[in-house]
Chains A and B, each alone.
Chain A
Amino acid sequence: MSVVSRGTVRIATERCKGCELCIPACKPNVLQMSTKRNGLGLPYPELLPGCTGCNACLMVCPDFCFEVYRYDEATLHDLDGEVGGHVGEKELSP
């Protein structure tokens, strides 16, 4: 299985108050709350492959935790055998 990311986010997890507003706001449904806790003792959002860089998370976040980027070229995440860790990323061939 492979998933394409057209964008990505930078998440300031230490500032997150765990309100979870970003989870339903994410239309590609690629944010989930962590099982780990940040310095405030709260769960924070984690990014899964498939981000489109649409800015919805950034707009709804009351704690200014998101910075959004759109890739110049989409990234293909090859997920076979990679479940559970950080994936190797390879460029889509033009």
Chain B
Amino acid sequence: MSKRRNLPVLNTENAPTQPARQTGEFHPGLQLTADHDLCPGCGEPIALRILLECIESLGLAERSIGVIGIGCYTALTSMIDVDLIQALHGRAPSVATGAKRMRPENLLFTLQGDGDMVNEGLQEVLHTAARGENVTCILLNNGVFGETGGHMTATTVLGQRTKNTIDGRDADYHGHPILIADLIAQLGGTGYAARGSVHDAPSIQRTRNLVLRAFENQMRGDGFSFVEILTMCPTGWFIPTPEGPDYLNEVLAPVHKLGELKSGGVHAPTESES
């Protein structure tokens, strides 16, 4: 808990009575309610806000179709005021391919976790990217199967402690993590690939811009677009809730490097090249 200071606590129950401009609402207009059952400190509702605000700002709410994978975020779908299709575990990119081909004027996005996309349905997303389908896949990557108890996924970084890697992921025994955004950026059909994070306000702002660019890439018809968003899962990481953002920044982000990997079909220079 933060150190208490000798300052008075202000009343924050109601809107201010003096002239003021509202600069932020409790939840985006495309979100029906604010109440959800996800754990304290979870990064997925933060990513949901980014996603819905981007759809709203592009004016595509009535033309958007989301395809949802299986994970904790699936519990958020009853809050979303956008047309949605529930896919089988890992199959969202293929369902989105079908929907986009039938309705090319619509914005098609998938919302998937790392367990859903990289473990259960790796071939779906790779083939969709390689075919250059005009859909946007959004990956919420926390490095664990959060919904089923916090065990290791294919994106869990080396040394990361999960329910079945108690002493940390060991390359000799558990293999190496798949850096999915880097992998997708290598494919010819990919027009846009980027990796963002929700561990602090500047990263959230940057991630919002990445999602906007991915959607714009799709609406231009420039091929497959992909945004990976690193999210906190303090429950699955077995750490105190307030330490989630720092853990993400210090453990996950150095391996799953943040930034744009490909834009307009052209690879971004890597850190060593730039």
* Chain B minimum-CB-distance residue to A69: B20
- Chain A 42-85 residues near chain B, CB threshold 8 A: 42-43, 46-49, 53-56, 58-73, 75, 77, 79, 82-85
Q: How far is the CA of A48 from the CA of B13 in the complex (A)?
A: 14
User: Known contacts A20-B242, A62-B46, A68-B22; can you find 20 more A-B pairs with CB under 8 A?
Assistant: A10-B26, A12-B26, A12-B34, A15-B35, A17-B41, A18-B241, A19-B242, A24-B245, A25-B200, A32-B2, A42-B40, A53-B23, A62-B42, A63-B34, A67-B26, A68-B23, A72-B21, A79-B7, A83-B6, A89-B18
Q: What's the nearest-Cβ distance from chain A to residue B56, in Å?
A: 15
Q: What's the nearest-Cβ distance from chain B to residue A36, in Å?
A: 10
Residues of B within 8 A of A (CB-CB), count: 50
- Provide the main secondary structure of the chain B interface: loop
The answer to whether B242 touches A75, judged by C-beta atoms less than 8 angstroms apart, is: no
Q: What's the nearest-Cβ distance from chain A to residue B33, in Å?
A: 9
B25 at the interface (CB under 8 A from A): yes
- Provide the main secondary structure of the chain A interface: mixed
The answer to whether B242 touches A43, judged by C-beta atoms less than 8 angstroms apart, is: no
Chain A residues positioned under 8 Å from B10 (CB to CB): 5, 8, 46-49, 86-87
